[in-house]
Structure 1
């Protein structure tokens, strides 16, 4: 009886709670302000790239609007200015610069609407070289690490980004192509390709509690043992930046807001307070932190022959298991075989020589043409 009563109470509670849940859309979603977003840093040893955009409503599924036709320049404490020129819409670049560490520097912005913004003056820092990017097999895959140090103990706060590139092949190799109204030997290789990815994960590390300014085997990326990226050859380009404590704190808050939310015990989202401000309206929210430092980088390669032989890799083409025969079985011999290839829905693989009539094996472009997932142009840095 006690069990039945408890079950009834539980069921009643579930119904009661479910009947009390209404969808809630806060006013900020319905009537959002369009805040300026400033993305980039002042490169003290190279080209500075700054991207300007605007925030959009959470309900907006369209593209993010960029801020175009703005006037940007870098300015040091002595008043020396270095202009940035807009290339791609919303993206502004300077010439290659070498900035003095003795003078603080900031970013100035004037939008097309004649609104002025500026970042706080920042101390110019020089990022030390990356000592090594290494890897080892562990945790059911390949773990990639970064190592660095600063003998002057002036770095302490580090941030890393990485770009991944890998070689892959499509499901089938095509020896023929339908071009200029006829079938002919294929000239372009659409079987071997390369693909690249720039993960947005935020990787931060500091040595504040250490006697030495040494980063030892900081984990950057764990690739599962079946990853398609490891099937032939994989490369990672690691970029390293040193930051001030304030810039590091900004990126740490951004990391928590974007990566650590999802359970009851995760950190609550916080208001991002950057170092870019409106000069005409102190209450205006501007998103972004513009630090001043250099960037160092190092590239890693992993070849499949260096990995365990029993690993089985995904191809990305697991659904491309069966080739089609053109013409299809049972079709009359009078059918126009080449018409199958007019609209590019089918891509020929090869001709069936022993067939009594003109016959080809073919598949969809998604299964044959690797350019659908990458490029067949070999990267300049590839071995």
Structure 2
């Protein structure tokens, strides 16, 4: 799971003093920093190599999150099975693929290299309840902006799901709007040449992951039914300019996990950590069992999982409108000479070598260029088509 507190180092520094030792909670302080282990763990009913992330809280001046390396990570169930996790690319992955099963109780145990042992309370898998649909529709948001509203729908006739958490991954196709079949290169300090451009620099694909904690609770509804707006994209946002896809992930949580994530969301959504909107105290289900003074941030969640992916094109919703782009892509002209009046040869050579501009055309010594993002999508994205992509 993703607590999303990790992305904000300032918030983490304050969160470091929110948490108790194994059994108590600390009030919010603003002048204290403590390094605390952060454990992000969601076990699901997917048959896969499960993942657990173990990091540390960050100081104000830190620009990256420190990974807790060298830990021994084990998930045990009450049937006598043990699943060992090994460190790989900043996360801990189970050595074998496995899935959480109904009626089994699972416990997470993490032993850090300094000998601290962190253990969760036993958790059981929630009831499976797959996503019914993910639906895009033309809409106007509260700011009177027109765009595409994407909703996720779910329904449980037995009213046993109740607590939902969502994440999404959005992927989109990018076509360089000012791509040219010719590419300009510098051949010396004062000369250039035109060569055939690589066609693989014209079309790219990018993927972004959601960063918010997205929750739904149906307790106060007549039915256990979710119709949740999960993403709104303005019509002038270039990410939907050609073809767009979103993969929505649904986790059915228990009340304890939902409450923990809701508190984390409330903290993260405060305009300021010192604002009147303060959740005050927070408690997870992981504790340090061999040092009661050691604090830990985290929750071991065992949740039923489902996902659904959709695609749509810009023309599906805006058939008569021009495609939006990420840059104005205006012409940039250079007088390619050196030493004379208005000569810009040195600047042009520098921008070519620095991949800041791409070639559009020239008339004599007057060269027309554009920003590289307009003529070469690989300057900011990947030209590798995702394996799931459907044109």
Same fold at TM > 0.5: yes
The CA deviation string for residues 333-357 of structure 1, in whole angstroms up to 9 with x for no partner, is: 9x799956762345442453xx456
The RMSD of aligned alpha carbons is 3.1
Following TM superposition, by how much is the alpha carbon of 1:88 offset from its aligned partner in structure 2, in angstroms? 0.7
Deviation (angstroms), 1:261:
4.0
Q: Which residue of 1 aligns with 2:149?
A: 143
- For 1:114-125, list aligned pairs within 5 A: 114-125=115-126
Q: Does the CA contact (< 8 Å) of 2:167 and 2:213 recur in 1?
A: yes
More displaced 10-residue stretch of structure 1: 284-293 or 366-375: 366-375
Work out which of the residue numbers 346, 370, 374 in structure 2 matches 1:363.
Answer: 370
1:1-383 map, 5 Å? 31-46=32-47, 47-57=49-59, 59-139=60-140, 140-178=146-184, 181=187, 183-215=194-226, 217-261=227-271, 267-309=277-319, 311=321, 314-318=324-328, 320-325=329-334, 327=336, 343-345=353-355, 347-352=357-362, 355-356=363-364, 360-382=367-389, 383=391
Farther off after superposition, 238-247 or 201-210: 201-210
Question: Aligned partners of 2:275, 2:113: CA distance in 1, in Å?
Answer: 44
For residues 114 and 283 of structure 1, do their structure 2 counterparts lie closer, same or farther at Cα, with a shift above 3 Å needed? closer
The verdict on how the C-alpha distance between 1:212 and 1:331 changes in structure 2, with shifts beyond 3 A counting, is same
Q: Cα distance, 1:153 vs. partner?
A: 3.0
Could you tell me how far 1:179 is from its partner in structure 2?
6.4
Per-residue CA shift, 1:142-193, capped at 9, x if unaligned? Answer: 1111111224432111111111112223352132235695532112432322
Shift of 1:308: 3.1
What's the TM-score once normalised by structure 1's chain length? 0.81
Higher relative contact order (CA 8 A, sep 6+): 2
Quote the offset at 1:299 in angstroms: 0.7
How has the CA–CA distance of structure 1 residues 79 and 282 changed in structure 2, closer, same or farther, with 3 Å as cutoff? farther
Deviations 1:309-354 (A, max 9, x none): 4556641212x31232462596799x799956762345442453xx
CA distance in 2, matches of 1:259, 1:63: 21
Bigger drift between 37-46 and 295-304 goes to 37-46
Contact map agreement 1:43 1:97 (CA 8 A) in 2: no
Select the structure of larger CA radius of gyration. Answer: 1
1:352-379: CA deviation from partner (whole Å, max 9, x where unpaired): 3xx456x643334344322232212222
Aligned residues: 351
Q: Which segment drifts farther, 133-142 or 246-255?
A: 133-142
Does the aligned pair in 1 maintain the 2:184–2:359 contact within 8 Å?
Answer: no
Aligned with 2:123: secondary structure?
Answer: coil
Q: Is the 8 A contact 1:157 1:207 kept in 2?
A: yes
Superposed CA deviations along residues 175-229 of structure 1, whole A, max 9, x for unmatched, are 22356955321124323222221121111112223443322x2111121222222
DSSP-derived class of the 2:378 partner:
helix
Question: Partner residue of 2:143?
Answer: none
